[in-house]
Amino acid sequence: MTRQATQGVAGHDGPGLAVAEARRRILDEVAPLIGQERVALAAALGRVLAENVHAPLDVPGADNAAMDGYAVRSVDLPENGPGTLRVVDRVLAGAARRDPLAAGECVRIMTGAPIPPGADAVVMQERVEDGDDGQVRIPGPVAAGENIRRAGEDLAAGSVALAAGRRLRPQEVGVLGSLGRPEVTVHRRPVVAFLSTGDELCSPGQTPGPGQIYDSNRHLIGAALRRLGVDAVDGGVIGDDLGALKAAISEAGSYADAVITTGGVSVGEADTVKEALACAGDIAFWRVAMRPGRPLAFGRVGPALFFGLPGNPVSAAATFYQLVQPALRRLMGEAGTLQPAQLPVIAAERLRKRPGRMEFQRGILEPGADGTVQVRSTGAQGSGMLTSLVHADCLIVLDAERGDVAPGETVQVQPLEGLQR
């Protein structure tokens, strides 16, 4: 990255870089962290795999019953009408029968128990009538393979069960358990320092003076970082003082893999973040054509990535999810598409939109007509109104150049929870 002064930085004069271009330029700068560790399965949730995990055995390990009932030879049961078979054994999950079934025989079997040799189907017990002398009446026909789960149908021995670069959710941890793995190799967690800037900010326990407010961004960004699974280091509040900000950014860059500030990145007289970054590190670009969230600065302090997010709380959150989180996920070693997932839904009402910047409006998903999903606005969209995000369950993504959305039009939404992670 070349060192650039604030003036002349890409996006300085116009509306800023397109969101996709900004994301691409950021991701181009990010490589997965070097460094791995072994963790026990109980500590693996949310970590990113640094090894290809091969299945050392078939899962399931043997053909087994999918239902409680009777293991039969399908040839013994007539095409139409019931047949009568003699029950010669009983197999529970955890046991196995070695002797093959002979003609006219069946075995009482429970879900998960291995299929006895010779049997090729399981009839569920609800379809079976008890007869005399240990015999059962079973309605035909029964198809070969019915209610049998095949060895290796979930995972074949030797196959890649989980590929490196995968973030471990509960289901991946369960698969590791099913392979008998006590521990797994994951990428080291990035250290991410975050701090708020602004003379107006108070912390809990302090009494706001005239014109002061409590800091929300540090708590929001800290929580988002912890949920993402990074090692989040709270750098506190730094006042609007260039020297103090330069020192704080330099110090954070000396130990962190990424540094995030909020506030002081616009064009006001106390907006010192860009100047501090230009002194302490390098600015790659400033300003993204998104709303909320235009005045974002991206660069480096030493080897650390630097994100100067805007001060308005919704702008800080929006830029975090669109641009910071994908970068941190790549830093964490995650492979694949790192941008937030998007789905088309129907606009339930008119949405106001001025051409110019891509907008991330706060929306509420709800059932529409005929089983469709529709979205409506949370209402006022001011970037200082953090409760607009509290009421939202999605972001409505509106392309930069478009205008108002008419009711019934299809729009893209990013669910805030559920589909990601």
Ligand X SMILES: Nc1nc2c(c(=O)[nH]1)N[C@H]1C(S)=C(S)[C@@H](COP(=O)(O)OP(=O)(O)OC[C@H]3O[C@@H](n4cnc5c(N)ncnc54)[C@H](O)[C@@H]3O)O[C@H]1N2
Q: Least Å distance between CB 382 and ligand X?
A: 10
Stretch that binds ligand MOO, among 184-192, 255-263, 308-316, 337-345 (CB under 6 A): 308-316
* Among the listed residues 47, 246, 274, 294, the single contact to ligand MOO using CB under 6 A: 294
Which of the stretches 39-47, 101-109, 234-242, 307-315 binds ligand MOO when contact is defined by CB under 6 A? 307-315
Measured torsion, CA atoms of residues 345, 350, 351, 355, in degrees rounded to the nearest 10: 110
Closest distance of CB 268 from ligand X, Å: 5
201 binds, among ligand MOO, ligand X, none (CB under 5 to 8 A by kind): ligand X
Report yes or no: 323 and 28 within 8 Å, Cβ to Cβ. no
CA angle 273/207/293 to nearest 5° reads 30
Asked if residues 109 and 70 have their Cβ atoms less than 8 Å apart, the reply is: yes
Residue 383 touches ligand MOO, criterion: CB under 6 A: yes
Task: Give the residue, chosen from 23, 47, 291, 362, that forms a contact with ligand MOO under the rule CB under 6 A.
Answer: 291
Chain residues in the site for ligand X (CB under 6 A): 196, 198, 200-201, 213, 215-218, 262-268, 271, 292, 294-295, 310-313, 315, 383-384
Closer Cβ to ligand MOO, 23 or 294, answer by number = 294
Smallest distance, ligand X to C-beta of residue 376, A: 24
Q: Based on the number of CB atoms within 10 Å of its own CB, is 114 exposed (0-12), middle (13-18) or buried (19 or more)?
A: buried
Minimum CB–partner distance for residue 259 and ligand X (Å)? 15
Write down the least CB distance from residue 306 to ligand X, Å: 14
Pair of tokens at residue 360: 């991330």
Cβ–Cβ < 8 Å for 356, 400: yes
271 binds, among ligand X, ligand MOO, none (CB under 5 to 8 A by kind): ligand X
The two three-digit tokens of residue 178, written as one number: 């099913």
Minimum CB–partner distance for residue 288 and ligand MOO (Å): 9
d(CA 415, CA 411): 13
Nearest to 76 by CA among 112, 107, 110: 107
How many CB atoms neighbour CB 412 within 10 A?
Answer: 15
Among 292, 308, 340, 363, binds ligand MOO (CB under 6 A): 292
76 Cα distance to chain centroid: 51
DSSP state of 401: T
What's the first-to-final CA gap in the chain, in angstroms? 31
- Contact status: 310 vs ligand MOO (CB under 6 A): yes
State the residues that interact with ligand MOO by CB under 6 A: 291-294, 310, 312, 315, 383
